Amino acid sequence: MTQSQVAAHLADKVKISKKDAKVALEELTSLVVRELKKEGSLRLAGLGIFRKRKTKARMGRNPATGEAIKIPARTRLRFTPAKALKDAVLGAR
């Protein structure tokens, strides 16, 4: 589903214009970015948690040559789905 399709669906369900729905989605996106930069995590109830996670530097291997290479430390983004989301999508186990 694309951002335009999400905005159209949101506009239809909430009875607002597509332009307003697109602005709301853009604001939600900027909120997520701002909070991840500032706090490092964002919890959305029923959806899950977005987090920044630091990985350590490590040694790896070039698969083509077998040569050992150093992989530098970096920050990655991680999303952990909420239990409610997993149960809704995958079914309760």
Give the residue among 46, 45, 42, 44 at the shortest CA–CA distance from 87: 46
Global pTM exceeds 0.75 = no
Q: Judge whether residue 64 has pLDDT over 90.
A: yes
Q: What is the CA radius of gyration of the chain?
A: 19
Q: Judge whether residue 93 has pLDDT over 70.
A: no
CATH number at residue 85: 4.10.520.10
Q: Cα–Cα distance between 32 and 48 in angstroms, integer?
A: 12
How does residue 37 score in pLDDT terms, banded at 50, 70 and 90? very high
Q: What per-residue confidence (pLDDT) applies to 92?
A: 74
When divided into structural domains, the chain yields a total of 1
Domain containing 39: what range? 3-90
Alpha-helix residue ranges (DSSP H) falling in the chain: 3-14, 18-38, 83-90
Q: Are 10 and 21 in contact (CB under 8 A)?
A: yes
Strand arrangement of the beta sheet that strand 74-81 belongs to: 41-44, 48-55, 74-81
